[in-house]
Structure 1
Amino acid sequence: MATTHTGGTAARHRTHHTAPDLHATGVLILLAGAFLPIMDFFITNVALPSIDTSLHASPSSLQLVIAGYGVAYAALLVLGGRLGDRYGRHRLFLVALVGFVLASLACGLAPGVGVLITARIVQGATAALLVPQVLATFHHALDGERKARALALYGATSGIAAVVGQLVGGLLVGADIAGTSWRPIFLVNVPIGLVVLLVAARIVPATRSEHPVGIDLPGTVLFAATLVALLVPLTEGHALGWPWWVWLLLAVAVVLGAATYGVEKRAERRGEVPLLPPSLLRLPSMSRGLAMVLAFSIGFGAFMFVFALTVQNGLHADALHGGLAILPMALLFFAGSVLAPRLISRFGRAAMAAGAVVQLAGLAWLVAVLVTSRPQAGLWAMAAPLALAGAGQSMLFAGLFRSVLADVPAHLGGIGSGVLITLQQSGLALGVATLGTLYLALAPHGIPHAFAAVEYAQMGIVAALAIGTAALPRFTRAADVPVIEG
């Protein structure tokens, strides 16, 4: 049940949760646990043509392989944070990891596209229970600079997992291990997940809330229904010719969204802590940062989806080269993520704005290469613009993750981190459903120009983010943590 938290209660929460020490190895193993679910949203992108050939999947089914995972992931993330607060983050991390490994095994052995989509939904649901425990554990078991560094590393891990996912996916599909084609992209989670499970069980400390709030069943159901009603018609609409029920579902999504807000607002007025507390969303760092995380994720999710299809279907590269094509972005994203915490601490929001401008330049250069050089455009011609885009977005990405949780109280860390990743994952799925659908609609008329149309939209998003960084928290050099202005 929800209660009003006083400063003394917050202090007791911090004392309780910082007692078990989280060592550097524990931070790394938690990051590894978060890496797998985030990677699995993207690892399927380069495998889509192979899945199509193997299982005879329709374009809308291929989108559901990705978006179905994303919808389940996004719909249950906040609930995952809430359950971790109540039943213990260490325990839920281990249980969810077991479920994720089993769902990955089912994906790898799926005999048809229907089974694959179902297993992907289960995989997304278990990922939603797993990932919030990482951020919440950092929020409760670390303080000061150690916490700021861990949060920055989580942001870096999220972005690196995305680009590495497509790289590893291409390598595994291209290797065609024992004639298994795309299946190892899911089966690889099994041994890695088991190693993380065994190590985490021994070295990660148990944390939980002393006064966990109740499970907000009405809010959870309404929020999940809103996401499904929004993303399913956007994903399926184009392939089905936009029938009447698609438009009806989109209208229902608006009604459900309004109902969700009303239910959550009334629950908070009763003294409860709802799934999505309106007061938490009104905190300066949350209200400003979450909008930017959502916009960034829409563009990023769409880019990774359409780039993989463009390289394979437009430039006629195989899955191996399709995965390798993203390597320059992965390398510069990693390098930028290492430097980002120090640069943001020194230059603050200016570093984030500069990163957005660099990313914008890289995307514009990439579009020019693909539109003007095709079909002669090769991997080397795309390497420099991809590297530029990766370097820029790493700075923006790391700063956004540090900003959002800047003024969230420690005892609401599980809920705050769940909201953050929910918006990130919703944006990724929404990017595939909207800009991905735009790409599929335009691709028959020319793949490079379809890619360019999507990237013009993403460039508009990045330009808006460059301007929007002025509204984010400023970072003090001495404390290395953000403070809110205004």
Structure 2
Amino acid sequence: MTQTVTTSAVRARASSPALSGPGLFTVLLAAALPLVDFFIVNVALPTIGADLAAGEAVLELVVAAYGVAYAVLLVLGGRLGDLFGRRRLFLAGMAAFGLTSLACGLAPGAWWLVGARAAQGASAAAMLPQVLATIQAATSGGRRARAMSLYGATAGLSMVAGQILGGVLVAADLAGSGWRAIFLVNVPVVLLGLVLAVRYVPETRSPRPEPVDGPGTVLLAVSLLTLLAPLTEGRAAGWPLWTWLSLAAFPLAAAAFYAVERRADRQGRTPLVPPSLFALASLRRGLMLILPFSVGFSGFMFVIALALQRGAGLGPVPAGLALAPMAVAFLFVSLSGPRLIARYGTRVLTAGAVVQGAGVLLIVLAAWRDWPHLGFGSLLPGVTVAGAGQALQLPNLMRIVMSEVPPARAGVGSGVMVTTQQSALALGVATLGTLFLALVPHHGMRDALVVTLLVQLAGVVLTGLLSLRLPRTVG
């Protein structure tokens, strides 16, 4: 009897490794890289186009190739981590991210850059799901809550900091590298991350590894491609026939994916995205909130970069630094997230939506009043308030989504959450970006910016209303 208890205790300890402080820093560093790289190109696109003689459609592919490859492969990346070990996939994905970043930085032409960006997105999809899965599997209780809050804060801060960093690096022209520095800077960061990961990131995997669902993987990829590819490329390509055929195929592909996954679940096999996972109310409702939040966030970042550079005539650095107050507000407010959630529950999310909405309205007023002299001073109140509101939402939303996911399915749960977020980020650039660029020729850039911001505000209101349906407490 003593031997049995001792053996069980040893096995329990072995199956539940702890994530140390340096280990948490390492995985959060890795979480920042893919999101920084999604946004870092926004202010660099004009320079890339001039240097590589790339037209608008090709430049949009530089953004879309990364975002689509990333979104399509995220769930598969989470499943492979559960199957082969999350630390192993984390190291492989990070190493590949460094190599593909080097390929982007050394690209001799535009189409090389497009291909390297697609490979970079695939590498990120192997690396990022392991971050959340490792946190879920190697922490518990208050440590997990703090780690999830820090993850959400890192994600939000990375999206703003990416745009700021892009402007600074392009303008700095380090050693004559110009725009290439925005990719080459990843290489030393990845090397540092690999050294830290080998030492501090524990190996975790599902106790019952589940094989890869081939049909589900293919159908999910087809579903996301038929939606994201035409939306991101349609306007620049002139909406050719393939874009409409692709959009028409999306609901059919999505329905086929759901049918295949549901049948596999009922037959006791292992679907890529188990429909039973959506029985978790926290995951289902949290994803419904992440969708409009991320669409509005990425759409705003893309549109404001275009408006400040093409309309207000700012250079890359002033355009990036105009958003610095948003990053600062996000950082400091997000640190108070765990305490506020513990005290006020999910009402914090509703308050965050109200604060963010007020910030967006201030930005609208600044654009209407000061255009075309829009810059740091006129945007300061609005972006600061909006950043504070976003910080009350995003970190806590991510914590809510993962709160009931069992550690054995941490890879799948994190893959589903990040896929939803990444797909919404790509949709935000495609939909709000397309709306803005379609309005500019007919109504001018100021009015186009104001209308686009009001559409974003509607999404903020929707997020606030949906948050009222959440239970008051968070597990």
Q: Report the TM-score when normalising by structure 2.
A: 0.96
The residue type paired with residue 460 of structure 2 is: V
CA 279–375 in structure 1, closer or farther in 2 if over 3 Å, else same: same
Partner of 1:447: 445
Partner of 1:199: 196
Q: Which of these residues, 345, 363, 367, is aligned with residue 366 of structure 1?
A: 363
Q: Which of these residues, 298, 305, 315, is aligned with residue 302 of structure 2?
A: 305
Q: In structure 2, how many angstroms separate the alpha carbons of the residues matched to 1:176 and 1:258? A: 48
1:175-197: per-residue Cα shift (whole Å, max 9, x none)? Answer: 11232221100000000110110
Q: In structure 2, how many angstroms separate the alpha carbons of the residues matched to 1:75 and 1:13? A: 39
1:43-64: per-residue Cα shift (whole Å, max 9, x none)? Answer: 1111111112112222222222
Q: In structure 2, how many angstroms separate the alpha carbons of the residues matched to 1:466 and 1:362? A: 14
1:276 counterpart = 2:235: no
Aligned pairs for 1:218-229 within 5 A: 218-229=215-226
Deviation of the 1:399 alpha carbon? 1.6
CA 12–281 in structure 1, closer or farther in 2 if over 3 Å, else same: farther
CA 139–172 in structure 1, closer or farther in 2 if over 3 Å, else same: same
**Does the 8 Å contact 1:52/1:62 carry over to 2?**
yes
Q: Which of these residues, 122, 147, 150, is aligned with residue 147 of structure 2?
A: 150
Partner of 1:320: 317
Q: Which of these residues, 250, 261, 279, is aligned with residue 253 of structure 1?
A: 250
Q: In structure 1, how many angstroms separate the alpha carbons of the residues matched to 2:11 and 2:113? A: 43
Deviation of the 1:409 alpha carbon? 1.6
CA 85–17 in structure 1, closer or farther in 2 if over 3 Å, else same: farther
**Does the 8 Å contact 2:70/2:122 carry over to 1?**
yes
CA 436–14 in structure 1, closer or farther in 2 if over 3 Å, else same: farther
Aligned pairs for 1:69-88 within 5 A: 69-88=66-85
The residue type paired with residue 457 of structure 2 is: M
Partner of 1:478: none
Three-state SS of the structure 2 residue aligned to 1:471 is coil
1:468 counterpart = 2:461: no
Three-state SS of the structure 1 residue aligned to 2:178 is coil
1:180 counterpart = 2:181: no
The residue type paired with residue 264 of structure 2 is: A
CA 112–268 in structure 1, closer or farther in 2 if over 3 Å, else same: same
Partner of 2:5: none
Deviation of the 1:20 alpha carbon? 2.2
| Range that drifts further, 387-396 or 46-55 | 46-55
Three-state SS of the structure 1 residue aligned to 2:45 is helix
Three-state SS of the structure 2 residue aligned to 1:209 is coil
Deviation of the 1:14 alpha carbon? 9.8
Deviation of the 1:444 alpha carbon? 2.8
Q: In structure 1, how many angstroms separate the alpha carbons of the residues matched to 2:112 and 2:33? A: 21
Q: Give the count of matched residue pairs.
A: 467
Partner of 2:264: 267
| Range that drifts further, 384-393 or 229-238 | 229-238
Deviation of the 1:245 alpha carbon? 1.9
Q: In structure 2, how many angstroms separate the alpha carbons of the residues matched to 1:273 and 1:367? A: 48
Three-state SS of the structure 2 residue aligned to 1:474 is coil
1:248-283: per-residue Cα shift (whole Å, max 9, x none)? Answer: 111111111110001100110111221111110231
Aligned pairs for 1:37-436 within 5 A: 37-436=34-433
Deviation of the 1:241 alpha carbon? 2.4
The residue type paired with residue 295 of structure 1 is: P
Deviation of the 1:39 alpha carbon? 0.8
Three-state SS of the structure 1 residue aligned to 2:262 is helix
Deviation of the 1:76 alpha carbon? 0.7
Three-state SS of the structure 2 residue aligned to 1:57 is coil
Deviation of the 1:380 alpha carbon? 0.9
The residue type paired with residue 457 of structure 1 is: V
Partner of 1:479: none
The residue type paired with residue 437 of structure 2 is: L
Partner of 1:3: none
Aligned alpha-carbon RMSD (Å): 1.6
Task: Name structure 2 gaps, 5 residues minimum.
Answer: 1-7
The residue type paired with residue 201 of structure 1 is: V
**Does the 8 Å contact 1:17/1:207 carry over to 2?**
no
**Does the 8 Å contact 1:51/1:182 carry over to 2?**
yes
**Does the 8 Å contact 1:13/1:411 carry over to 2?**
no
Deviation of the 1:376 alpha carbon? 2.5
**Does the 8 Å contact 2:60/2:236 carry over to 1?**
no
**Does the 8 Å contact 1:93/1:133 carry over to 2?**
yes
Task: Name structure 1 gaps, 5 residues minimum.
Answer: 1-10, 476-481
Deviation of the 1:18 alpha carbon? 5.5
1:441-477: per-residue Cα shift (whole Å, max 9, x none)? Answer: 12234222222222111100100111111222322xx
Q: In structure 2, how many angstroms separate the alpha carbons of the residues matched to 1:200 and 1:151? A: 19
Q: In structure 2, how many angstroms separate the alpha carbons of the residues matched to 1:230 and 1:256? A: 10
The residue type paired with residue 76 of structure 1 is: L
**Does the 8 Å contact 1:14/1:140 carry over to 2?**
no
CA 473–418 in structure 1, closer or farther in 2 if over 3 Å, else same: farther
Three-state SS of the structure 2 residue aligned to 1:376 is coil
Q: Which of these residues, 9, 18, 22, is aligned with residue 21 of structure 1?
A: 18
* Aligned residues with identical type, % of pairs: 51
The residue type paired with residue 157 of structure 1 is: T
1:358-400: per-residue Cα shift (whole Å, max 9, x none)? Answer: 1101111101111221122331111111000000011011221
**Does the 8 Å contact 2:295/2:426 carry over to 1?**
yes
Q: In structure 1, how many angstroms separate the alpha carbons of the residues matched to 2:408 and 2:193? A: 27
| Range that drifts further, 99-108 or 50-59 | 50-59
**Does the 8 Å contact 1:85/1:212 carry over to 2?**
yes
CA 270–170 in structure 1, closer or farther in 2 if over 3 Å, else same: same
Partner of 2:435: 438
